[in-house]
């Protein structure tokens, strides 16, 4: 049992005979001290744990009692203190409550600094944060976020004519920040601010293509080099199981000649059983890889091989490819969406589709996946079935 007392140490007298009041922490046969900002002119001004012989003695004694109550409350909340040394206990007491009264902005800053966030995602988060603070300001304490705050922010965003999906994204990010604060112990809510609030429905873009439409892209004949390259790289994504462009550009095809093996960048920091995407590269993909592979083994999209330039290439040329094929809902992401839809239509197991896409293979409420795994051979066969469906 730790004991707390207010003391003055005669051995710690400072210049002019002055001394500081300390809180002694006696624990496990040791005693350590927490220094306060109460300074006495003489050791004679302190007796039996109280300040005496001073005009402000009553005020200083009240301050001491408050400090003792604060540390005692912190002590009462600690579990298993017998396993702590006296110095460790002092550290716990001095830092107890230090995270209280955190502003939402300080939590946002900490989350952005500590979480694994890609630069593109971080840029989106900063835009969302600006949307939130236009309503809340940047001085709002996290503990003051209420259900009314959520409803007010929802109305504010809708009044700005933002789409329901955008409103949802903004509110979800605020939810992420509050959940982070709760997990860190920075804030507690008697009633969760999001309790009873229904997020706006997600607008799902119907961007997948039919098998015939994918064939139309594949078989398009054009004399325009950029449209031809756009066509080929779209099909390459489809042939490689709907691979994202950022992952495609990261692969060295001088090393990965017959088998593709990579970690999906978007989810590389998320825990999952299937860390790698792996399957044999189909012949259809090898032809396109050889056509656009540079000396370094990487696919060359634009003249200056930077990801921003690659995005610009597709932003400019995908609409032209759409016009040439007569397919309205055609974006680069359609390759990924179409592959997964076609695989599902063929009856391929969703766990295998998730494996190919680089998603987490869930247990689905069963312990089955504690015993079995999706294998690269299973993924290879699935990709082959989807591609054969184009013939």
Residue ranges of domains in the chain:
3-95, 104-183, 211-388
Tally of CB atoms within 10 A around 145? 22
Dist CA 318 CA 330 (whole Å) = 7
pLDDT for the residue 329: 83
Dist CA 75 CA 89 (whole Å) = 9
107-146, pLDDT tens digit by residue?
A: 999 999 988 887 878 899 999 999 999 999 989 999 899 9
Q: How far is CA 6 from the centre of its chain?
A: 45
Q: Which two tokens stand for residue 358?
A: 């680089």
Number of helices and strands (H, E) in the chain? 14, 7
Give me the count of residues in the chain: 391
Share of the chain above pLDDT 90, in %: 62
This prediction has a pTM of: 0.59
Q: Which two tokens stand for residue 239?
A: 């042939």
* Top-confidence residue, 222 or 86: 222
348-383, pLDDT tens digit by residue?
A: 999 899 999 988 766 554 555 555 678 999 999 999
Dist CA 38 CA 22 (whole Å) = 8
User: Hey, which residues does 293 pair with through a beta bridge?
Assistant: 299
256-310, pLDDT tens digit by residue?
A: 999 999 998 877 666 666 788 999 999 999 999 999 998 999 998 876 555 556 7
pLDDT for the residue 204: 59
Compute the mean pLDDT over every residue in the chain, rounded to the nearest whole number: 88
Instruction: Please report which confidence band the pLDDT of residue 311 belongs to, taking 50, 70 and 90 as the band edges.
Output: confident
pLDDT for the residue 115: 85
Dist CA 192 CA 110 (whole Å) = 21
Could you name the CATH architecture of 211-388? Orthogonal Bundle (1.10)
pLDDT for the residue 205: 57
């Amino acid at each position: 049992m730790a004991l707390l007392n207010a003391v003055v140490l005669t051995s710690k007298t400072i210049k002019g005979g002055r001394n500081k009041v300390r809180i002694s922490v006696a624990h496990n046969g040791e005693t350590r001290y927490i220094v306060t900002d109460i300074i006495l002119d003489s050791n004679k001004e302190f007796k039996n744990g109280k300040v005496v012989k001073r005009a402000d003695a009553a005020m200083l004694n009240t301050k001491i009692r408050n400090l003792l109550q604060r540390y005692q409350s912190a002590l009462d909340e600690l579990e298993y203190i017998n396993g702590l040394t006296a110095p460790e206990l002092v550290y716990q007491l001095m830092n107890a409550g230090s995270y209280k009264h955190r502003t939402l902005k300080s939590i946002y800053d900490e989350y952005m600094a500590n979480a694994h966030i890609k630069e593109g995602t971080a840029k989106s988060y900063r835009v969302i944060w600006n949307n939130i603070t236009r309503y809340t300001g940047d001085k709002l304490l996290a503990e003051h976020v209420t259900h009314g705050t959520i409803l007010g922010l929802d109305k504010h965003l809708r009044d700005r004519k933002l789409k329901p999906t955008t409103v949802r994204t903004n509110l979800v990010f605020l939810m992420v920040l509050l959940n982070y604060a709760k997990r860190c112990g920075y804030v507690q809510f008697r009633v969760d601010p999001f309790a009873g609030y229904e997020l706006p429905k997600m607008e799902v873009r119907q961007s997948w293509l039919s098998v015939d439409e994918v064939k139309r892209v594949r078989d398009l004949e054009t004399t325009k080099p950029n449209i031809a390259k756009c066509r080929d790289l779209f099909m390459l994504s489809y042939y490689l199981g709907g691979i994202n462009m950022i992952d495609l550009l990261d692969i060295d095809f001088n090393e990965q000649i017959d088998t593709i093996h990579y970690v999906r960048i978007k989810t590389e920091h998320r825990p999952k059983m299937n860390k790698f995407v792996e399957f044999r590269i189909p012949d259809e993909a090898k032809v396109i890889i050889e056509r656009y592979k540079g000396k370094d083994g990487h696919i060359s999209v634009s003249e200056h091989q930077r990801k921003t330039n690659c995005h610009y290439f597709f932003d400019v040329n995908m609409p032209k490819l759409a016009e040439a094929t007569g397919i309205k809902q055609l974006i680069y992401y359609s390759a990924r969406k179409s592959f997964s839809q076609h695989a599902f239509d063929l009856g391929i197991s969703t766990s295998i589709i998730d494996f190919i896409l680089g998603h987490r293979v869930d247990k689905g409420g069963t312990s089955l996946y504690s015993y079995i795994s999706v294998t690269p051979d299973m993924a290879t066969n699935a990709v082959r079935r989807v591609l054969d469906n184009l013939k």
